[in-house]
Structure 1
Amino acid sequence: MPSARFPDLDGASVLITGGGSGIGAGFVEGFARQGARVAFFDIAEGPSRELCRKIEAEGFPAPLFVPVDLRDVEALRAGVTRAAQAHGPITVLVNNAALDDRHAVADVTPEYWDNNQNINLRPHFFSAQAVAPGMKAVGGGSIINITSTSWLINHPDLSSYTAAKAGIVGLTKGLAGELGPDNIRVNAVAPGWVLTERQKALWVTEERVAAHVARQSIKRPMEVEDIVGTVLFLASDASRMLSAQLLIVDGGYL
């Protein structure tokens, strides 16, 4: 985990979507280590509860796991209410949840497309909508939308996913413009290829990693911890005048 400390995050009410595994679990742990009161959504109950036990066993505040299927907007809204009731108005939202299943253009049906967008794009808006009133009431907040570099590098087999990830950047700009007068900052972070357990199980090979790292300026594979520090910075008052921006964290991929 990053060594930097952000004192204003100690005690902050933080909500993370898709926090049960992968990069999202890194965010949950990173904020917990800052002393934040963390709530997170996920549909995978086993890994999520194990993450809570792990963090508490390490001596940090236990996160609040709220089982939510983000395709259900009413369940999402109810989850935001539950998190705010437990920890106070949410001042940091990390829209992280995503599903990067591969899909050929010829195989995509309208139903597949809608389901994919309902996981990868739509919840970012409705989560922001749900937390905005509480942020306004307490004088501001930070919304961090996790996108991807996949739409920047013409990644094949992901056309619906990359459309959603590009859409997140446009959504970030629009939200920043509307919510900025209420001192709510909205930014996006685009990770490169982070070698999560899911990536390792499904797509990682030595050859693919070597080829990818060869195109990075920093010559080592990216890990979950490499994204966490950027998000902590964007959540803290160290970035208080930074909004409507896309930060690319990809090791300098060329």
Structure 2
Amino acid sequence: MTHPIFPDLKDRSIYITGGGSGIGAALTDGFLTQGAKVAFIGRSDATAFCDAMEEKHGRRPLFLQGDVTDTARLQATIAEAAEAHGPLKALISNAANDQRQKLEDYSPEDWDANQAINLKAYYFATQAAAPLMRAAGGGSIINFSSISYMMGNAGYSAYVAANAGITGMTRAHARELGPDNIRVNAVAPGWVLTEKQLELWATPEDLSAHLQRQCLPRHLTPEDIVNPVLFLASDASAMMTAQCIVVDGGVAYTG
């Protein structure tokens, strides 16, 4: 997929959670295409991915190993990214876990673990990024939500609840941080066929049924999510904040 070029993103310091796999890897690739300086946190070793990105773009993303549910480590890596790449201009909170579960089988410990990755990490990433952006004169925070909460999907209600929370938190932080010229928006993808989705949950029957719900008759790939995020990180969206942008081929809609 061809990405439009946003000249203002060149050399900007960008931080992505989960930037070494799935949608996050596509985002890392997309920002490197813009000439941005990209840092990302991930649990698994991403050396091979970084090698591939360096070969492709002539610049290497900064991989900072860690778990976003470890708040101290998460916030430390955001500071490390700013130290390495200069004033932080965009935070993309992308890491999530949409593990399926049954209501009757879920324990309080399961709930806490789910919210730790799917909501708590988003809050504390913003907490760490905001003062860095304030010092830089502003920035863009982009939180990944999901259309799952708009549709009221069953089978992973803790994840659905977290994504509803992300959208509410996004609007509250947009109001709180707006005076500092920090914009806060959310992106709500539809069913994006990452390797994980294809391996675990994308049965032929479910894929066919979901495609029938879309206006556009093509399944989403990680690359479909990149351009909207580039736009929200760029000055092209300078007066957009407190919004949740749906990218799903036309399943859910707002307005």
Aligned equivalent of 1:25: 25
**Corresponding residue for residue 86 of structure 1:** 84
Give the distance between the partners of 2:103 and 2:3, measured in 1 at CA.
Answer: 43
Alpha-carbon separation, structure 1, partners of 2:2 and 2:226: 7
Query: Which residue among 234, 241, 245 is the counterpart of 2:243?
Result: 245
What TM-score do the two structures reach when normalised by structure 2? 0.97
Matched residue type, 2:195: E
Please give the secondary structure, in 2, of the residue aligned with 1:99.
Answer: coil
Within 5 Å, give how 1:60-79 maps onto structure 2: 60-79=58-77
State the match for 2:14 in structure 1: 14
**Contact 2:51/2:60, CA 8 A, preserved across alignment:** yes
Give me the whole-angstrom Cα distance separating, in 2, the residues matched to 1:139 and 1:127. 18
Structure 1 portions without partners, runs of 5+: none
In the TM superposition, structure 1's runs of 4+ consecutive aligned residues that sit over 4 Å from their partners are none
RMSD: 0.9
Query: Could you give the per-residue CA deviations for residues 171-195 of structure 1, whole angstroms, max 9, x where no partner exists?
Result: 1001000000110000000000000
Give the Cα separation in 1 of the matches to 2:2 and 2:129: 27
> 1:139-150 residue pairs with structure 2 within 5 A?
139-150=137-148
SS at match of 1:131: helix
Following TM superposition, by how much is the alpha carbon of 1:3 offset from its aligned partner in structure 2, in angstroms? Answer: 2.4
2:124 partner SS: helix
CA contact (8 A) 2:41 2:64 kept: yes
Amino acid at match of 1:12: R
Given residue 232 of structure 1, which amino acid in structure 2 is its aligned partner? L
Would the aligned equivalents of 1:33 and 1:60 in 2 still touch at CA under 8 Å?
no
What is the 5 A alignment of 1:155-194? 155-194=153-192
- How many residue pairs end up in the alignment? 252
Q: Could you list the runs of 5+ residues in structure 2 that have no partner in the other structure?
A: none
Name the SS of the counterpart of 1:26 in structure 2: helix
> Per-residue deviation at 1:208?
1.5
User: Relative to structure 2, which stretch is displaced further, 224-233 or 55-64?
Assistant: 55-64
Deviations 1:201-228 (A, max 9, x none): 0011222211111110000111111100
| Aligned residues of 2:22 and 2:194 also touching (Cα < 8 A) | yes
1:9 deviates by 0.4
Partner of 1:224: 222
Residue range with higher mean Cα deviation, 58-67 or 87-96:
58-67
Q: 1:59, CA displacement in angstroms?
A: 2.8
Secondary structure, aligned partner of 1:121 = helix
Query: Post-superposition shift, 1:144?
Result: 0.2
Aligned partners of 2:109 and 2:251: how far apart in 1? 34
Tell me how far 1:150 sits from its aligned partner.
0.7
| C-alpha displacement of 1:70 | 1.1
Give SS of 1:35's match: coil
Deviations 1:71-97 (A, max 9, x none): 111111111111111101211000001
Amino acid at match of 1:23: I
Q: CA separation of 1:210/1:60 partners in 2, compared to 1, >3 Å: closer, same or farther? A: farther
Rounded to whole Å, the distance in 2 between the matches of 1:129 and 1:214 is: 40
> What CA distance in whole angstroms lies between the structure 2 residues aligned with 1:42 and 1:231?
19
1:68 Cα shift? 1.4
Aligned mates of 1:177, 1:150 — CA distance in 2: 25
Q: Which residue of 1 aligns with 2:100?
A: 102
Tell me which amino acid in the other structure corresponds to 1:35: G
